[in-house]
Chain A
Amino acid sequence: MNQELIYTVLLLVALGALAAIILYWVSQKFKVQENPKLEQVLEALPNTNCGGCGFPGCSAFADALVNADDLAPYNCPVGGNEVMKEVGEILGKAIEEKDPFVAVVKCAGAIHVRVHHTTYDGAANCSIASNLYSGERGCSDGCVGLGECVEACTFDAMYMDETTGLPVVIEDKCTSCNACVTACPKDIIELWPKGKRDKKIYIACVNEEKGGTARKECSMACSGCAKCVDECKYDAITVENDLAKIDYDLCKLCGKCIVACDVGNIVSTGFKPEMINTLAEKREKRLEKEKEAKRLEREKAKEVAEAEKENVSDKPES
């Protein structure tokens, strides 16, 4: 019995070895001749096939890189500058370092700040809902909240916040591959430079309706009042179509616009909590001061009006 076992094992090993030799020979004989650099470049790329580079997959991108004269216009957002440097070394071509970008969600319309006017019962897909009164919340330009962007993200860099009903971007995982930007039917998501130490300030609203109409639907809507424009010393904010926009190249992250905004719409990321608290406190104080100032004005106006009335009644009738 032992002999049978040994012979069986040996035979199987021999068959396996023979099969391996044949397969290796065939793979070498019928190998497709490719530019060896292509394989090296492909190995250096992250191989996630996300399309963020603008090409349909990493092998197409590798092909384009190998055939390009200048690598400056090409960038792999997932791999970033590290991968591009490696590719540049392999191909002996110069690359251009690019700032990393991340996705930002430009809508502050959480569930509790928007008017509810319908109950939506269709398929849980933002595009389908946006054809039918844009889901359950007011402001038909704002986030529908059914998570099409979260589904589109292949890097697990987004999730839906249950309390606010808005998507949240995990900046460390975000590769700015553009999938969520194209998925969103309301074009709320935009790619912004990640910023030094992740700091950035942006206005979280895309509503271009007149202030009164917009505020009726969402209490955090940007009405285009331009108070932030007045405060900004660097001319980084412009108002167009009743909507303010911050230019990220000009913004110096001073935070004065956050203090100036009545609605509290402007979002800042990456700042230390103390800084955010300071800005929030300054804003609260400013709002209080203005309220006080208005109240005093009203009282003064009342006093003046009463004084005038007495003056009139004192006058002798002519």
Chain B
Amino acid sequence: MLLDFMKGLKHFHKGGVHPHENKLSAEAPIKELPLPKSVVIPITQHIGAPAKVVVERGDTVKVGQIIAVHEGFVSSNIHASVSGKVGKIDKVMDSTGFKKMSISIRTKDDIWEDSIDRTPDLVKDIPYTPEEIVKKIMEAGVVGMGGAAFPSHVKLSIPEGKHVDYLIVNGVECEPYLTADHRVMLEKPHEIMVGTQILMKALGVDKAIIGIEANKWDAIEGLKKIAPEYPGIEVQGLRVMYPQGGEKQLIEALLGREVPSGGLPADAGCIVHNVGTIYSMYMAVQKNRPLIERVVTVTGKSVKEPSNLLVRIGTPISDLIEAAGGLPEDTGKIISGGPMMGKALNELDIPIAKATSGLLLIPEERSKRQEVYNCVKCGKCVEVCPMGLQPVELSLLSKNKNLETAQAHGILDCIECGSCSFICPSNRPILDYIRYGKSNIRKAKAS
């Protein structure tokens, strides 16, 4: 705590746990992966309605060409990430664990749309109006790249009746092992600053804070050094604790405001965007470049070369694993995302989606859960819950299908961070049952 004070770090105040950071790939610079032989692009990579396919089997497409159009407001455009011929448009297993309609493209050459600016120079001027900015971001199909995949243009319009005074950029990356955002902040600091300014213009706010966890001190220093060139943008270091990167916890740490239950960050006067999304927005607005690639961390204790790879959307994960030194012999689990909230995958053909931030390969001996004991009422789950809930109680209520009481005790506020299951000394599957309860409540509400 003294160290935090000396370094000027802020932190969130309720709950939280300290998983081992294991940032094995923090020193690995971003490497561009060679083009895959074919890509499989799901049309439902985002929250909201699936996009409508506008190409047919056999069509030739260029990089950046629209292949599926957004359906309604809360939806997103999908673009071809490689040039070539469109193949099967069929249901394929994707990283969410369900079969989704996907467009496959067989790669041929690397021909880009003419409107895209591929030069690496920084473009500082922002000669667009806020409406034009929102339009460009919507057309580029930018979604939240921190994992949620919420269409970003929806988060660029302040809801009626709400007053927003801060833009918060989430550079926290609190999940262990993941380093994609870290490397983007280190290697493209100016682009991030300009991207932040673009967003500030679109939202009409004049204050922005970039929150970064203290284990990325080089990124904090790098951004702090250039911050004076960009008025209104502040860089704030944060104590290393999970889930500091959850938007509610981030807002509470930086501004001391708690988003009300069932509310949005706008209710607390802020809008939060992931730093990778900010970079994509810079590319979209300044370089006319739609979201067709992203940085993915490939990591794990047995991985030969933990790396941060720049890959095209739709690349099968087997290509990334090869580039990181090949699949380790003792792999027991493959996780899309980080170890606390990521989703376990069961095949190697699954494609990279817009929100896939990392691939974690867990060795066999650590991939099985340990023996489950009775609940010893130790209260550790209550101590660590960042939302002030009592996970032991919610889990039992969900298991016994007592949904009204569970809702009254706030089960819908749960952010599913996993701190409760992480800390439970009896290895009980607390979060499994809380999710079960939440989905039953949602099902009951829908019917």
Contacts and interface: CB of A to CB of B under 8 A. Distances in A.
A/B: CB atoms within 8 Å of each other: yes
A252 to B, nearest CB: 37
B429 A123 contact: yes
Contact of A118 (B346, B368, B436): B346
A128 B435 contact: yes
A34 interface: no
B12 interface: no
B97 interface: yes
Contacts of B367: 121
Contacts of A132: 97, 344
A128 B432 contact: yes
Contacts, number: 30
A122 interface: yes
Interface string A264-306: 0000000000000000000000000000000000000000000
Interface in B306-362: 344, 346-347
A128 B429 CA distance: 11
B369 A117 contact: no
* Interface of chain A, main secondary structure: loop
A125 to B, nearest CB: 7
Contacts of B432: 122-123, 125, 128
A123 B367 CA distance: 15
A125 B399 CA distance: 10
Contacts of B344: 132
B402 interface: no
B402 to A, nearest CB: 14
Contact of B97 (A125, A127, A128, A131): A131
Nearest to B333: A121
B150 interface: no
A312 to B, nearest CB: 40
A131 B369 contact: no
Given A122-B429, A132-B97, A133-B97, A127 B436 contact: yes
Nearest to A125: B436
Nearest to A118: B346
B439 A131 contact: yes
Contacts of A123: 429, 432-433
Interface string A111-142: 00000011001110101100111000000000
A129 to B, nearest CB: 10
A133 B346 contact: yes
A127 B399 CA distance: 11
Interface in A230-261: none
B434 to A, nearest CB: 11
A127 B368 CA distance: 20
Contacts of B97: 131-133
Contacts of B433: 123, 125, 128
A128 B346 contact: no
Interface in A82-135: 117-118, 121-123, 125, 127-128, 131-133
27 contacts: A117-B346, A117-B347, A118-B346, A121-B367, A121-B368, A121-B369, A122-B369, A122-B429, A122-B432, A123-B429, A123-B432, A123-B433, A125-B432, A125-B433, A125-B436, A127-B436, A127-B439, A127-B440, A128-B429, A128-B432, A128-B433, A128-B435, A128-B436, A132-B97, A132-B344, A133-B97, A133-B346
Interface of B: 97, 344, 346-347, 367-369, 429, 432-433, 435-436, 439-440
Interface of A: 117-118, 121-123, 125, 127-128, 131-133
Given A121-B369, A127-B440, 9 more contacts: A117-B346, A123-B429, A125-B433, A127-B439, A128-B436, A131-B97, A131-B439, A132-B97, A133-B97
